[in-house]
Structure 1
């Protein structure tokens, strides 16, 4: 029996050593990008045809080259630019091609038969595709004409805010940038979002099939962005014309949204990091909001960075990419540096927006020196007094503590026992409302004991504080305050625990926007991108830990978090003017003279970035060098480190040409050494040449596979993390 050969990518882990592509045969030639179901062992799995081969399978052993089981050809094949994106991501992040491809495709697609797929595609295609109409000559300034089918008369005028001079200049700069990558650095409240929207409007007007991707760092930001996009563009793209892609969707929801984007039925796509891997019919613009956020870096499976892939995808397609932030990552800031006599400029353009819309002022910094207060003080008296005054004036307050739960640990005062997790080198966190102890690393949970498990004493007390305890304290201190409208002050907690149920986050945010809440307590999730209009005071309770962290990126993350938190205050200039007092950021610290807080007081991101980049240049750290982390998990720490040491020794003996440019450090335990009964060790690789580091990592894989095959049974897994964000 003869047939055509096809190279197919299937989900095979890189460390399996099976290979990147498997060969199958079919009675007809299959176009690259075609979805197929193929046999793999005893299973039928989804695959993507990666390359067609002109040779036939005649003369080959039919058992050696298995036939394709089904072809899912009800839709257009995955496009060449998508295949190129997946190929690049697999090579750069050192993962298997099929593994990255299946990560990018909806999980529900992997179970679809050809018949099921045809029915689903037909259902999506049955929905009419809304299109944007052209702006007529008689349209008024600040309005757009909207129509249903192309060519139909204008039936609605879409109002939009008039841009400030600063916004107009930024929009014009983005337009003139063409297909370049641009960093839009604007202070919080400067109106970056409106610039994004008006740029998107122009892209939609320029083409009837253009698609736009909006990336946000976390799921909790998607509801307000979706509402904003629908409010502005629903007459253009339909009431359901915004596709949403994130991990919070059900498998079927994600499949339907992905298919609508792939077919070009939806023109606006809003998503978290996974959306950068979606298949588009005609992607014309990429916007990455809060581009500095670490959430864009995947921390399991293929460890890609969505922002960096967005930049690569923009260059590949020749479309503009806009990176927006009030506190850009130092990598993006460095890449957008202007040219000087000593140094060439970066590859990005930089556009700045230094002023808030409406003339609103940025929050003033108030430092509370906790050395002048009793050791067990949680909220200093001056801070409580300031919060009371703000609430009585009708404003809202936000209190930031980046630690959820009631307390980090439960301790016995008699024998010193602590609530350690039996499976991790970490404590179980006290969750008072649930009356449970829960590990935030492996998820192990137990009821809070009445007696010490070690000595039987009842002298058990929580140590440290989390958002749950802070909410309780504020309710005691300020919850009895009678307000002008006759109600008592309300304290609301927003964190991963209080919003884990479906719809809880949206309900909590609605309470804040309505003014039903006077004090919002939460983790970093409340500091990112939310447009709270009535907040006049933001307080950071325990920020000092990052000042002493071993990770060199900790100061950058802390500065960004505090700047972003401060940006939630005073966003409505007219409302703040009624109150008569400037918005404030209060920081309780034991290090009031630290340079980071001095830069924060000046709201001086460029100054802070200059100091940090100078330190990194001197220390030989990113963005002046490139890093990769090799990690091993094993039953014992000795086995994990022995594996890494064996691989490093073998690589040294191989004397690869790239090795002269790569520094290989000794293996060490991870900060949290044991998680879910697996001991974890890491080995850092560093180079001033990205090309040399990539060549070294590619050559390393055969040694890793060989070392795994020869390793004792205690080794569980290994992985490579390129451009790691935590060291």
Structure 2
């Protein structure tokens, strides 16, 4: 018997002691299983398995529940009597699912983000491994469904008679006579009804197979590649000369060929049998990126994003871990993917906010990438046309190597950027008359036009024309958004839905008007104004569902649509060679935001949107409609570009003692009772005032003060020293957890916050 310490996903910072009987040496039957699949096999405590417990999952009793935990330490001297300790119910693995390297990462994240170690370690694992419970027959190993002939079907002499009336059924049967086939491939050629009919006739059966992919190094074939321009060649040479840990920031204008640089720098790594992990900000970028990498290297690329089911994600995770994949491309959480032979990590569009997890464990994937690259002693490449001020500051301070791509690749020219003063102009569906004329010219020339408005739905509000009452969400004190296609009102904060009212709730009058413009109304309006051209809407309402966004993007590039209407989804690095005009609506509100990061975010958005125009040999232009054309931010951005704006913004931040020159943590508090939330943060503020090198700002309401019936408030703690701030927060965190009021509110610590809503 020994005592082990287990990390459990509960909001408590400590490890938990359990006793366990030490398993004996492995028997011959289990040895065969180990040889066939040494990664993940479920084992009962009664099995004779030689287990290296550290990093394995175990099923343990925790109060009235049974929880999956991860073993962090063994042979522990417990502070409790061994006889009083609870016993482990079941060992779920015979080999660690969490390596020592990942345990070290988890410990660092727990300390850095001031988050319970159990919840951190669970975050590092695929969802399928977090959910595994005792009594489930499905092993943790990922399998693929295949179809094969039924074991008894070969003895049937009347197969021809059974299938005489169905050519398709007969074709499928003959196909399976050659050997079993993946169900995913079968579905592309045969309908589910055909598969079901053959199964009911007991001619075929479905089996789950643990796929062993072909060794990717033997499949590697480099297709013809373009000759890089001088700037690209210098970037490729600089990165290829890097050895060991080195962080490099590629600051390249939109269309400068950053992806081609990525392709050429990973070529020698793949040839040497090394693996590469590439992070992209959005699911929508994955298909086009994957297609380009697969075409260049002739190997399958593993993908990790939220549109995959748990089994699919687990399979890619395992194949990356055992070295069966050379390239892994994924969104934020893919930074936790283990690689057998790591060669490089690339973070594309590193400035994007989606790399920051805003719920629960508030990590930033870009920052984790820096730690992991150092841990693995491999290069890290960050790329963006509009780098975050944090990364740019590190590059200018020589902490990162700075690589510039100031010109577009090939013959493409930078789009002209212009402001349209819409004061006093007649407007139709939020678009000025002069802008409609420019759109008509481009459409008549056979080009595509993109219109951006950062508001989905039909209209942001519904109001009564008689009394002025606005329909609001009672849980959020927020106007409900009108969605005419769904015939309802929706709260975009808490997702509450209610039917469209026929009369005013206040005065009973039935003259209800919409206020403002959303993507849905803009699409309908443009279809009316330009009936000869097809319009498509790209927002979170229209791309919901597996493969929907990929399908829309493909249709756009096939010129099925001439007018593109959408939200920020359209700004995320997509390549639309026929878009020559980008129109940006309704950005004036961001010019007067209380968020000190608002100018940076707006400048990034405008620059990224502008970059969607003129990406081939066609001349592109971007027009921004505004009531404030004289605003200094817009003038600087339009006349001098993002690079100049960013460096001036860094100087402003320095004089204002704001990040990245100083460091912040944010303590967030929520309660159904406003005074409780504020009271808790006031106690926090008193606690932090004892640290003389830390500044306390607040408490103050969050930008979205009320959400889902809870009042939300913030407290900012700031210091010029990151180390000092971390030590102060660690000490304060322990004291805060012991305060009685801390159990009456929801609260969390956000290190390096980027959003105060």
* TM-score, normalised by the number of residues in structure 1: 0.87
**Residues 651 and 703, structure 1, Cα contact 8 Å, conserved in 2:** no
Q: CA deviation at 1:606?
A: 2.2
Q: 1:370 to 1:316 in 2, by over 3 A?
A: same
* Residue 137 of structure 1: aligned partner: none
- Structure index of larger Rg: 2
**Residues 129 and 140, structure 2, Cα contact 8 Å, conserved in 1:** no
Q: Deviations over 1:543-585 (max 9, x none)?
A: 1111100001111111111111111111112xx1xxxxx3100
* Residue 498 of structure 2: aligned partner: 446
**Residues 36 and 68, structure 1, Cα contact 8 Å, conserved in 2:** yes
* Residue 753 of structure 2: aligned partner: 724
**Residues 184 and 324, structure 1, Cα contact 8 Å, conserved in 2:** yes
Q: Deviations over 1:433-462 (max 9, x none)?
A: 111100011110111111111111011001
Q: What secondary structure, in the 3-state scheme, does the structure 1 residue paired with 2:501 have?
A: coil
Q: CA deviation at 1:288?
A: 0.4
Q: Deviations over 1:470-505 (max 9, x none)?
A: 111111111x2xxxxxxx311111000111133221
**Residues 53 and 95, structure 2, Cα contact 8 Å, conserved in 1:** no
* Residue 632 of structure 1: aligned partner: 669
Q: 1:41 to 1:280 in 2, by over 3 A?
A: farther
Q: CA deviation at 1:71?
A: 2.1
* Residue 11 of structure 1: aligned partner: 9
Q: CA deviation at 1:330?
A: 0.5
Q: Deviations over 1:508-546 (max 9, x none)?
A: 111101011101000011011101111000010111111
Q: Deviations over 1:252-283 (max 9, x none)?
A: 22222222223332232111111112233232
Q: 1:60 to 1:104 in 2, by over 3 A?
A: closer
* Residue 614 of structure 1: aligned partner: 651
* Residue 40 of structure 2: aligned partner: none
Residue 191 (1) aligns with residue 257 (2) = yes
Instruction: Map residues 62-211 of structure 1 onto 2, 5 A cutoff.
Output: 62-112=82-132, 119-121=139-141, 123=143, 126-133=210-217, 147-148=218-219, 158-178=223-243, 179-207=245-273, 210-211=274-275
For 1:415 and 1:372, the matched residues in 2 are separated by 27
For 2:137 and 2:242, the matched residues in 1 are separated by 41
**Residues 5 and 76, structure 2, Cα contact 8 Å, conserved in 1:** no
Q: What secondary structure, in the 3-state scheme, does the structure 2 residue paired with 1:410 have?
A: strand
Q: What secondary structure, in the 3-state scheme, does the structure 2 residue paired with 1:416 have?
A: coil
Q: What secondary structure, in the 3-state scheme, does the structure 2 residue paired with 1:411 have?
A: strand
**Residues 72 and 117, structure 1, Cα contact 8 Å, conserved in 2:** no
For 2:384 and 2:688, the matched residues in 1 are separated by 41
For 1:508 and 1:610, the matched residues in 2 are separated by 37
For 2:16 and 2:113, the matched residues in 1 are separated by 17
For 2:222 and 2:319, the matched residues in 1 are separated by 27
Q: 1:558 to 1:384 in 2, by over 3 A?
A: same
Q: What secondary structure, in the 3-state scheme, does the structure 2 residue paired with 1:666 have?
A: strand
For 1:606 and 1:258, the matched residues in 2 are separated by 38
Q: CA deviation at 1:113?
A: 5.1
Structure 1 residue ranges without an equivalent (≥5): 134-146, 149-153, 338-344, 481-487, 577-581
Q: What secondary structure, in the 3-state scheme, does the structure 1 residue paired with 2:58 have?
A: strand
Q: What secondary structure, in the 3-state scheme, does the structure 1 residue paired with 2:581 have?
A: strand
Q: What secondary structure, in the 3-state scheme, does the structure 2 residue paired with 1:307 have?
A: helix
Match of 2:371 among 309, 312, 334: 312
Work out the number of aligned pairs and report it: 664
Q: Deviations over 1:167-224 (max 9, x none)?
A: 11110011123331000111111110011112122111122xx221110111221121
For 2:222 and 2:593, the matched residues in 1 are separated by 54
**Residues 390 and 396, structure 1, Cα contact 8 Å, conserved in 2:** yes
Q: What secondary structure, in the 3-state scheme, does the structure 2 residue paired with 1:496 have?
A: coil
Q: CA deviation at 1:48?
A: 1.4
Instruction: Map residues 575-724 of structure 1 onto 2, 5 A cutoff.
Output: 576=618, 582-602=619-639, 604-652=641-689, 655=690, 659-707=691-739, 709-710=740-741, 715-724=744-753
Q: CA deviation at 1:646?
A: 1.9
Q: 1:355 to 1:157 in 2, by over 3 A?
A: closer
* Residue 232 of structure 1: aligned partner: 296
Instruction: Map residues 408-419 of structure 1 onto 2, 5 A cutoff.
Output: 408-419=460-471
* Residue 265 of structure 1: aligned partner: 324
Q: CA deviation at 1:33?
A: 1.6
**Residues 6 and 30, structure 1, Cα contact 8 Å, conserved in 2:** no
For 2:222 and 2:578, the matched residues in 1 are separated by 30
**Residues 5 and 15, structure 2, Cα contact 8 Å, conserved in 1:** no
Q: CA deviation at 1:76?
A: 4.6
Residue 27 (1) aligns with residue 22 (2) = yes
* Residue 151 of structure 1: aligned partner: none
Q: CA deviation at 1:75?
A: 4.3
For 2:85 and 2:614, the matched residues in 1 are separated by 67
**Residues 535 and 570, structure 1, Cα contact 8 Å, conserved in 2:** yes
For 1:258 and 1:267, the matched residues in 2 are separated by 12
Q: CA deviation at 1:157?
A: 5.6
Instruction: Map residues 219-258 of structure 1 onto 2, 5 A cutoff.
Output: 219-233=283-297, 235=298, 237=299, 241-258=300-317
* Residue 497 of structure 1: aligned partner: 541
For 1:296 and 1:380, the matched residues in 2 are separated by 35
Structure 2 residue ranges without an equivalent (≥5): 24-50, 145-208
For 2:616 and 2:509, the matched residues in 1 are separated by 54
For 1:570 and 1:292, the matched residues in 2 are separated by 23
Q: What secondary structure, in the 3-state scheme, does the structure 2 residue paired with 1:171 have?
A: helix
Measured on the aligned residues, the alpha-carbon RMSD in Å equals: 2.2
* Residue 48 of structure 2: aligned partner: none
For 1:118 and 1:496, the matched residues in 2 are separated by 34
For 1:376 and 1:489, the matched residues in 2 are separated by 17
**Residues 32 and 77, structure 1, Cα contact 8 Å, conserved in 2:** no
* Residue 141 of structure 1: aligned partner: none
Q: CA deviation at 1:31?
A: 3.9
For 1:203 and 1:166, the matched residues in 2 are separated by 21
* Residue 136 of structure 1: aligned partner: none
For 1:307 and 1:116, the matched residues in 2 are separated by 36
Q: Could you tell which deviates more after superposition, 106-115 or 512-521?
A: 106-115
* Residue 34 of structure 2: aligned partner: none
Q: Deviations over 1:134-154 (max 9, x none)?
A: xxxxxxxxxxxxx34xxxxx9
* TM-score, normalised by the number of residues in structure 2: 0.84
Q: Deviations over 1:337-395 (max 9, x none)?
A: 1xxxxxxx331001011111112111101211011414777211221111111111111
* Residue 483 of structure 1: aligned partner: none
Q: Deviations over 1:204-250 (max 9, x none)?
A: 1122xx221110111221121222222223x3x4xxx3222222222
Residue 432 (1) aligns with residue 496 (2) = no
Q: What secondary structure, in the 3-state scheme, does the structure 1 residue paired with 2:517 have?
A: coil
